[in-house]
Structure 1
Amino acid sequence: MKKLIATLAVVAGAAAALTGCSASGGSSSSDHIDLTFWHGYTEADGKVLDTIVDDFNKSQKQITIKTTTKTWAVIGDTLLPALSAKKGPDIVALPAENLPVYAAKGAFAKLDDFYASDATKQASLNPRAVEMEKVDGSYYGVPTGFVPLSVIYNKGLFAKAGITEFPKTWDEWVADAKKLTIDENGDGTPEQYGLALPDHATVGNGVWASLFYGNGGELVKNGTSALDSTENAQTLKFWSDAVINGHISPTGLDGVGSDKLFSSGKAAMEIGGPWMAGVATENKIDYGIAGIPAGPKGQAASAIGISAAVTAQADSAKKAAAEKFFTYFFTKEVATKWSLGSGWPPLRTDIPASAVAENPVVAALTAISGTARPLLPGVANSVDVLSAVDEATQKSLAGGDASALLKTASGQVQQALDGK
């Protein structure tokens, strides 16, 4: 990400110039409009998205969209250089946390008019998903994916431990994790852990944001670091104690290691995204998906998001054409098709879990989607913010003082927010 920010700085002038060009008149309303669309949906979800685009192309005669599939990493490496050379896409999908970075440099067009339209107002879009599209008071993207982190659990291991219901509170969660932790030879290193809880480098650090939210904490509030709080210190100490003293999870665990523990059957639970359902199936694990248990202040989960933006390369006619596609994308029929095909909950709140029941994973995630909160919406230096959180959580689970670590991290977060 630091490489990306450096690239942004180099091409910022070009991006700003593109913004100026986008205000020009562009094509006549009677001309046929061709749009290019880059996205990083490389699995079955990509095929479904391409089908939706094809259906849109066939639904009218004025606009044709051509999709190009790249990995998210390639999009991150090539988008700004391509735009500076005027060879970039008109529409691009990218991880939502990257949206503010590009928007702040003038690479994306404002979409306030799209959100002000009657069609969008009537689409019942998830307000939390929409929140992640706003930067400095304006909208720069539309959500194409918004899914709460959840807990995937091994039903077989739960049955062996005599646990018949998934825990609903943190205290119940830790108690069950202890029952599921097995150290057969008593050497202090369990052969089976109750929970794989990574302390760094995991799902954009949404795992720890979720835990902080559950106790009423925040990472950033109104553009200011909120990390150094009593609530966050209580949260970090609670989970550090559970890991260090309760041995419910290994220490020093990152996201990759967490996935491996669960997929190998050596951890009964893991906090993750919908892709873990596929991993569990591949490893022949009978799994369930549940919401993250409620903390002292309630149930909450950080969400993973994907945004689609119109680039500054697009003139006014292309921008209007892109917005027509977005309107089509958010119709109830298409939104349901996309949800089932992508494996993510519907982006419309008026599509119930029963409407996507043919996909049990989607139905389960839809049922808990109300707990989802965007991670650091509108924060351009989100990577530096999360890096500071990473350092605090990792050191705390290694035995460090939670309060002192959060105080230090909070200063680093504020520097990142101030652009220093």
Structure 2
Amino acid sequence: MIQNEMSRRRLLGLGVGLGAAASLTLAGCGGGSATKSGGSAAGNGGKDYTGPKVDLKLWNGFTGGDGDIFKKLVQQFNSEHENIAVAVTTYQWEDYYSKLPGAVSSGNGPDIAVMHMDQLATFAARGVITELDDVAKALQLNEGDFAPTVWKGGIYNDKRYGIPLDMHPLGFYYNKAVMQKAGIDKPPTNSDEFTAALAELKKAGVQGFWVSPFQFTGGMTFYSLLHQWGGTLFDDQVQKATFNSDPAVEACTWLVDMIKQGYSPANVGQDADYLALKAGKNAFNFNGIWQINDIAKDPAAQIGVAEVPQIGSQKAVWANSHNFTIVKQRGADDNKIAGAKVFINWLSEHSLDWAKGGQIPARKEVRESAEFKAIPNVSTLAPELEYAAFPPAAPGLGEVLLTFYNSFNEAALNKKSPKQALDDGVAKANKQLEDNRKKYGN
């Protein structure tokens, strides 16, 4: 479990990884015109491939239980396609994003790369990945098939660079046995029920909701609550940071007060909130959907899963999305490009199988199927897609998001007041956004 959680938590390093990516010059990584036999690089958008056998390299960061399911799906694809062989390489996410630009620049990059939605614009701006509008057309995909934010998140400068595969939001995990000791018979769904439950737990000697100061998962909880109070991280054009607004300060203060009021211990260590939930030391935890497979390993722990409670004035929850991309090569091989598109097409159509890895399918028709609804707990969180707060699509955003999470860290550790921590964070974030505009020309 610790290894699985660590792999997710390492997304914290994305800001550093993207800083390294931005410093690399990728001139020529997609500029080669050499083309091997096979006709147009556009092909037919992934409907089929009838050319000679191609060997494709695929990079991803699925280091948890979802990685095993992903590899099995790739094996199935290979068994069904004699002329396409996909080889999978898996890295920790922060290593993945920092390695990719250099690998592409040196001609050693993958053919297919899985990327989080908030990274697409950066790598598109750096010329690392190529357009996929023809794949979306071949798949007959449009915004109506997805959550609008997920669909639009794959677009940069009016061109599509990512085909959405899934969405992974935060969920609400609760320990039934601990709740029963305090006389609580159902998980809270709103602010009043939440605070009342915490009060009963406190009477029973339990600090019911541990507030993590780290991105995983306290920062993501703050991200969710900020939107629940009606705030945003940035303005509509992602030109200015706005996470020091009154709603943001109120949401941050609410979380910090959990510590001051004794519902959470101070200085919670990384992962300690989730470990305490499983050990029966607390009752509630906001954590990613990826923990569903982990809690299934130990039914005796009596951990339940529900949608994140509505603490603020509206429903909202942090979420991100995995997308498939095709990486630009120095010497474009039309056959490989066509084969890569077939793979993306195939995996998109098999997203129900991918859902078993603890992901919500991006495609609406799959989410609404009886087969998906029968998958325990994963389908429980599917309704969150309707109010999920996805990160915006803007190049260089990783470092700015890291500043946001660090601001919350300072408030949660009582190094600064919520207002001061967020004001300081916004000042730094605005400088980063300005630098990004100069760097990427937006």
Q: Which amino acid aligns with 2:212?
A: P
Is 1:166 equivalent to 2:187 in the alignment? yes
Show the counterpart of 2:290: 275
Give, in angstroms, the shift of residue 311 of structure 1: 0.8
Aligned to 1:176: 197
Say whether the 8 Å CA contact 1:210–1:302 is kept in structure 2: yes
Confirm or deny: 8 A CA contact 1:144 1:306 kept in the other structure.
Answer: yes
Give the corresponding residue for 2:91: 70
Aligned ranges 1:108-187 → 2 under 5 Å: 108-117=129-138, 119-121=140-142, 124-181=145-202, 184=205
| Residue equivalent to 1:11 | 24
Who is 2:359 aligned against? 344
Return closer, same or farther for 1:114/1:18 CA change in 2, 3 Å cut-off. Answer: same
> Cα distance 1:158–1:141, how it changes in 2: closer, same or farther (>3 A)?
same
Distance, in Å, in 1 between the alignment partners of 2:416 and 2:373 is: 45
What is the percentage of aligned positions where both structures have the same residue? 22
2:210 aligned partner: 196
1:263 counterpart letter in structure 2? K
> 5 Å matches for 1:373-388?
373-388=389-404
Query: Hey, what does 2:9 align to over in structure 1?
Result: none
Structure 2 Cα separation of the partners of residues 43 and 250 of structure 1? 29
Cα drift, residue 335 of structure 1: 1.5
Q: Is the 8 A contact 1:202 1:254 kept in 2?
A: no
Question: Could you say which residue in structure 2 is the equivalent of 1:187?
Answer: none
**Corresponding position of 2:252:** 236
Q: Which runs of 4+ in 1 moved over 6 A?
A: none
Q: What is the match of residue 431 of structure 2?
A: 415
CA distance in 1, matches of 2:222, 2:297: 27
Among 252, 257, 262, the alignment partner of 2:267 is 252
Tell me if the contact between 2:407 and 2:424 (Cα under 8 Å) persists in the aligned partners.
no
8 Å contact kept, 1:123–1:330 = no
- Offset at 1:58? 4.2
- In 1, Cα distance between the equivalents of 2:285 and 2:257? 18
Q: 1:86 aligns with which of 88, 98, 107?
A: 107
Shift of 1:265: 1.7
Aligned length: 406
Match of 2:386 among 356, 367, 370: 370
Corresponding residue of 2:42: none
Distance apart, 1:118 and its partner CA: 5.3
- Is 1:47 matched with 2:63? no
1:345 Cα offset (Å) = 1.4
> 2: CA distance between counterparts of 1:70 and 1:374?
24
Match of 1:205 among 216, 219, 222: 219
Aligned AA for 1:226? T
2-structure distance, mates of 1:315, 1:255: 45
Specify the code of the residue in structure 1 equivalent to 2:164.
P
**Per the alignment, do residues 182 and 69 of structure 1 end up closer, same or farther by CA in structure 2, a change over 3 Å counting?**
same
**8 Å CA contact retained: 1:149, 1:271:** yes
What is the alpha-carbon distance in structure 2 between the residues aligned to residue 106 and residue 413 of structure 1? 24
Distance verdict in 2 for CA 1:265–1:132, change over 3 Å? farther
For residues 143 and 384 of structure 1, do their structure 2 counterparts lie closer, same or farther at Cα, with a shift above 3 Å needed?
Answer: same
SS of 1:18's equivalent in the other structure is: coil
TM-score (norm 2): 0.82
The question of whether the paired residues in 2 share the 8 Å contact of 1:151 and 1:292 is answered with yes
Deviation digits for residues 40-90 of structure 1, max 9, x if unmatched?
A: 223443333233233333444543322233333442343222222211110
Aligned to 2:280: 265
| Alpha-carbon distance, 1:182 to partner | 5.1
Cα gap change, 1:250/1:227 in structure 2, threshold over 3 Å: closer, same or farther?
Answer: same
- Partner Cα separation in structure 2 for residue 128 and residue 316 of structure 1: 31
Gaps of 5+ in 1: 185-191
User: Is the CA contact (8 Å cut-off) linking 2:289 and 2:358 kept in structure 1?
Assistant: yes
Q: What SS does the aligned partner of 2:31 have?
A: helix
Gaps of 5+ in 2: 1-12, 40-50, 437-442
What RMSD, in angstroms, separates the aligned Cα atoms of the two structures? 2.8
Of 259-268 and 353-362, more deviation after overlay is shown by 353-362
Aligned residue for 1:312, secondary structure, equals coil
Q: Does the 8 A contact of 1:252 with 1:394 survive in 2?
A: no
2:96, 2:328 → 1: CA distance? 16
Q: Which amino acid aligns with 2:196?
A: A
CA contact (8 A) 2:222 2:251 kept: no
Which residue pairs with 1:296 in the alignment?
Answer: 312
Equivalent AA in structure 2 for residue 27 of structure 1: S
